[in-house]
Amino acid sequence: MVFSSNVFLLLFLPLFLSVYYLTPNKRRLRNYVILAGSYFFYGWWRIDFLGLFAAVTIFNYFVGAAIGNAGVGKPLARRWMKLGVVVNLLVLGYFKYANFGVASFNELMAGFGFEPFVMASVLLPIGISFYIFESISYIVDVYRGDAEATKHPVDFATFVSLFPHLIAGPIFRYKDLADQFEQRDHSAQLFGLGATRFMQGFVKKVIVADTVAPLADYCFSLTNPSTADAWLGAIAYTVQLYFDFSGYSDMAIGLGLMIGFRFMENFNAPYISQSITEFWRRWHISLSSWLRDYLYIPLGGNRNGDAATHRNVIITFFLGGVWHGANWTFLAWGAMQGFMIFIERVMGISGAPKTFRATRWLITFVLVVISWTVFRAASISEAWRMYQPMFLLKNVGGLSDPMLTMISGLQISMLVFAAVFVLAEGLLAYGPKRAPLSERSKALLVVGLLMPLFAMSIMKLSAQGYSAFLYFQF
């Protein structure tokens, strides 16, 4: 089940909210409702993977308890922590990388004339990258003493399964939500804020991302794209990915507010960045902060000199690419991110600029578009097929005839609108501080603009039937 489906909007969400608010707000009873609803939500996709999901949850709960009983920083606690991290990574590695590993091994063996190794294809459980990373952060935080081992298994199970962010993040940490499992506020105002945020994300996903998506699909499917085709496809995917993923995050944050949770922001106008370093402070913030705290800093961070710092940056982003998926394209993308940040560090480029400089922004945006191209490509050869016209000026000219027959004026118009919106969104951060909108102005915007767009989104969704999120595959 996904947020952008009629089943979720018209059946699951109204039913869940009705049961949730009819349940007395005491003795954590509403946590049981969230847990049951989240397991139903996840099981709607594949009920057979609920067993794995529950097993991971139970295992990490008991590992956390064992670490807490052993004592913060104690040798026994360290052994439990290592066991927990290793088992979690083995689970993630098997389900996410087994197919890739076997395929790569068979390609190598074929080069030596050996028969391929046969193994049944492993199905990737949705959301596994997110709930495994959250589980790892929990047991590491307990070991470090940054969080107490919870004595409430339902609270921990609810944290892992919390459906608003279960499938595609943001990546949460138990220590940031622990108090909210014990007590959280509920009010009409908070619910209204959540509903508004959910509608914003829904519109971004269905109206913008889904309209622009065919442009990217068309361009990346061409066997001989022109320079204009390749750049159009790369920019279209750049826009699609942002509105799709940030739209999901908006919906997750909105759903959280509707049931009393306050979640962290996951995006902060990333395409206004003036360096790749700044970009990663604004894009997928929950992942970049996770990689910093649980990988970069344990590797040594910036504590052991410039050479070690550069090495740690490159390793961190390379492994960030590995986390995204089992494909050489993700490894290349991760290495590209690490190398670009390494270059910025050597050049002394700031990751927190005080003023807006158009040249630096343009260079950064082009680099982001270039990196998203290999991220989107199904293979290195497909990425090269796009890079050739982009950089070697192969097939210079306008859009190719096949491309012209597939695109529509609506798609181009939406792409232009999205680009203007993203630029304006970012430039507001550098403009003069403005007084917040009055409650009356906010209400007028919601009723006069957002609700009609939300209604249009539902009609569009009903026509297309279903709309998957890009980050479900990660």
List residues with catalytic annotation.
324
> Which position has the token pair 């005080």?
354
Residue 3, both tokens: 């947020």
Do 387 and 373 touch, CB atoms closer than 8 A? yes
CA 428 – CA 430 distance, rounded (Å): 5
Do 174 and 150 touch, CB atoms closer than 8 A? yes
Do 227 and 390 touch, CB atoms closer than 8 A? yes
CA 204 – CA 424 distance, rounded (Å): 15
CA 195 – CA 190 distance, rounded (Å): 9
Which DSSP string do the residues of 181-225 spell out, in sequence order? HH-----HHHHHHHHHHHHHHHHIIIIIIHHHHHHHHHHHH-SS-
CA 98 – CA 119 distance, rounded (Å): 9
SS (HEC) of 357-412: CHHHHHHHHHHHHHHHHHHHCCCHHHHHHHHHHHHCCCCCCCCCHHHHHHCCHHHH
